[in-house]
Structure formats: C-alpha cells, structure tokens
Structure 1
Amino acid sequence: MAKIIKCIIIDDEPPAIKVLETFIGKMKDLELLASSTDALEGLELIKKHKPDLVFLDIQMPELTGIQLSKIIGDSTNIIFTTAYAQFAVEGFQVNAVDYLLKPIAFPRLIEAVEKVKKKFSSEISTEIVKSEDYFFVKTDGKNRFQKVKLDDILYAESIKNYVVIHTKNEQLVTYNTLKKIQQSLPEDQFIKIHKSYIVALNKIEKTDTSEVWINGKNLPLGDTYRAEFFKKINTKKL
C-alpha cells in the first residue's frame, strides 16, 4: 500500500492556500494536516504534527520561507511556493525537493509530489532491521546487510544521499538518510548535533559551544541543535 504523505501549508496569502488545499484534496496519497498564514505559527504546527512535507511560501513577513526552512533543517521535505522566480536558486540551496511558481498549475504540483514519493520509496528500499543492541543496514548493491553493534558506533555522518557510520574499527557506507538511521538509535544514547551528524553520547571526549570531539575528530555543533545537546549532556554530568 502506498504511503500517505502528510503535509502542511504555510503561506501568508489565503487565496494561495485555498488553491493548494483544492489540489491536495484531489490527491489520494496526500493528507493535509493543517495550514497557516503566519510563519511562526507554521513552525509550531510543524513541531506539533511532524509532517512528511511542507508547502512553504518564500516571501513572508517576520520570517521568510528560506529562514524557516533552515530552522526546520532536514526533519521534513519542503516544496517552496512563490511568485518570484529569482528565488529558485536560493530555494534549492537549502535542499528543497522542488520549487513551484505561482500561479501553481495542478500538473506541476503532481510532478513535485512525485519527487517526494520517490524519496520515500528510496527510504523503504533501505529498510533497517534492528534489535535492542544492534541493527542490520544495507551496505552495497547486492542486498547484503551488515550488522552494526550500537556500542561500536562513534557517530553517523550524512554525505548527500549516503550515510557513513563511523565505528571503532571501520566506516560503513549505506545509501540511506540520516533520519532513517536516527530512528534506529535509542534516544538516550545518541543525539543529533548538526544536520549532518549524529553522535554517541558515551563516545564524546570533550565539547565547546561550536564543536564536539569524538575519537580525536572535531565535529560541528549546529546552532539549531546546541540547546538540546547541552540539555542532554547536562543531565549526564557528575
């Protein structure tokens, strides 16, 4: 059965929201969770509902779509909507799935949603088999899965469409997403410190406000993740 893609609309123009709501209502594989004309309220909706997809206007007061997308990070897929074609390049620089120019045509919306569906199909094909102390992850194109012990993991690094799992003895490369890997890791043992890094808490050697050291390597500590990181390590300090 095809995955139902749960989505949210954030656009300061009510007529634009109405158009998207009408189009989404025609698509059986999309479910609209909420919509908002306010970027800050939209951010709270994203935190609350954790949608698969956000239709996000770029030009909005208080907080632009580009700024909001950087706060969201890679936690959800974004399709930008705007009346200004000159923002397309900037939109793709923050890893948007697609860019829709207003007035939005229904066939063009379908094309953009298909790109999101392909991303989810890719995640399904890289399914991870897990247990309490380990998981198996696909590491090559021959349907071969490798066992990864949780205690051996130092950190996981996202590089484009791949994730490199750094362990005590080796580096495992998998065609996967960092989000999918994070779902296989216990929250009390691992934490995301950057859009491209997840680290094992018990492998941290030292840290400051901008970097985390593990196994002699310094990893970046992103602004978005700093507060949650220090909150978690403070609960573990002596």
Structure 2
Amino acid sequence: MMNCIAVDDEKLVLDLLVDNIQRVPFLRCVARCRNALEAAEVLHRHSVDLIFLDIQMPGLSGLQFLASLPTPPMVIFVTAYQEHAVEGFNLHAVDYLLKPVSFERFLKACNRAQELFNLKAGAGEQPDYFFVYVEYNLEKIHIPSILYIEGMKDYVKVYMEGSARPLITKMSMKAMEEKLAGRRFARIHRSYIVHADKVSSIRRDLVVVGKAELPLSENYRGNLSALLRF
C-alpha cells in the first residue's frame, strides 16, 4: 500500500483526483491539499510515497515545489499544460498526465508508480501480480496463474488457470510484454504470449497450453526455445 497526497488548487479537480485515488486498491490518500505550502506541511507530518501534483498553482508552482524538496517522494504531475512536460520529467516525475485524465490513463500511471515502489521496497523483487481495468472494475491478475495471452487489436485476453472465461482489458501486446518482462513468458506469435511453464507440448508450428493449441511463428520460435531449451 502506498501513501499518497493530492495537490490541486481547483476544488472540483481535487475532488475527482481523490475519487480516482480511492478507486485504486494499492493507494491510500492521506491528505488533500489546495497548494504547495499545505503539501509541504503534510510531508512533515506523514510518510508519503507518492504525490499527485498540479503545476499551475498560486504562490509556488508544482515544479518549484518539487525542485525545493531535498528528498522528494515519487510524483505524478496532473496538469492542463503540456509545455512543462520536459521540465517535469527532468525532475524525475513518474508520469505526466494532461487534464482531463481518463481513469484508464490514471491507472497506468499508478501501476508504473507501484512497480517503482515495489522495486525500492523489495530490494529488486517483483510482485507476483498486477491490476488491469476490466469494464468498470479493477481486476487483480496473479502472474503465476496466467496460461496465455491473446492479442486482438487494442485489447488483450488473459487466460487464467481455474477461470472459465478470459479477462479482457484494453492494452497492447507490447505493454503486456513489458508487464511480464524478466519472467518465464514468451511471445510465440504476433497475437500470443505463453507462460513457458504451462506448455505441455510443441508440435511443429503449434504450442499446446492446457486444452488450447496456439500457433507458433518461426519468427518467434527462439523466444520459447530460450526458456524451454529445445
């Protein structure tokens, strides 16, 4: 669980930001602030892992505030001004979101922050799960339970052990590969990623996972061969 604060001088925007934070299972909002000075006071009183920070605020801007912190928490900028993006990333922001922000885009930034948090807290160990947005809900995917993933345009289907139906979420195959990087998953076709440990047999141009027979492309054969040593 990450402790976070939301900082924005517009009440309606701040209300929406806090509402989005409360929808993410691994975030805990410990304070809401209308300006940078309020945020600075909160940082003195609480242990904060992540700040959702506006840029254009009266008094001290979000960029000035972040630059003033000797040991800042992770920061995700949430702003209406794209021209500050380079400066924001130069200050090591985790992400830079442009208002209005869809919840899907918000969640992607939160997942990125969680991955960094877990790497720091766990001495480099990766969590065995991640969250995806399925229709109007957040669904937790346990990585060891994944059988295979099927890509279809802008969406992926995630087939899990013990589940009759796949989870369908809006994500590219490339983004899914990044989620599973460093684990025993191999892309075997432009439309399929398999969990190597779940493969029961390989028949020429087919890979059998459970009851499914998946196509094995010659261009991707080496990915699976490297993991299964065939």
TM-score (norm 2): 0.52
AA paired with 1:114?
N
Separation (CA, whole Å) in 1 of partners of 2:89 and 2:63: 10
- Could you list the runs of 5+ residues in structure 1 that have no partner in the other structure? 128-238
**Runs (5+) with no aligned partner, structure 2:** 125-230
Give me the CA root mean square deviation.
1.7
Q: CA-to-partner distance for each residue in 1:33-84, whole Å, 9 max, x for gaps?
A: 0011121111111121121000010111110000100122433100011101
Picking from 19, 42, 45, the partner of 1:45 is 42
2:104 to 104, 107, 111: 107
Q: For residues 13 and 63 of structure 1, what CA distance do their matches in structure 2 show?
A: 15
Q: Is structure 2 residue 78 aligned with structure 1 residue 86?
A: no
Shift of 1:22: 1.1
- CA distance in structure 2 between the aligned counterparts of 1:112 and 1:87, rounded to whole angstroms: 17
- TM-score normalised over the length of structure 1: 0.50
**Residue deviations 1:65-108 (CA, integer Å, cap 9, x gap):** 00100122433100011101111111101111111100111011
CA contact 1:9–1:34 (8 Å) conserved in 2: yes
Does residue 28 of the first structure (1) align with residue 15 of the second (2)?
no
Letter in 2 for 1:17: L
Q: Following the alignment from structure 1 to structure 2, what is the Cα–Cα distance between the partners of residues 62 and 55?
A: 18
Match of 1:19 in 2: 16
CA contact (8 A) 1:57 1:82 kept: yes
| 1:113 Cα deviation after fit | 0.8
- Counterpart CA distance in 1 for 2:39 and 2:121 is 28
Residue in 2 that maps onto 1:62: 59
Q: Which runs of 4+ in 1 moved over 6 A?
A: none
CA displacement at 1:125 relative to structure 2: 3.9
Q: Is the CA contact 2:75–2:93 (under 8 Å) kept in the aligned structure 1?
A: yes
Percent identical across equivalent pairs? 39
Task: In structure 1, give the amino acid aligned to 2:106.
Answer: L
In 2, the alpha carbon distance for the partners of 1:7 and 1:124 equals: 16
SS in 2 for 1:33: strand
- 1:147-172 CA-to-partner distances (Å, cap 9, x unmatched) read xxxxxxxxxxxxxxxxxxxxxxxxxx
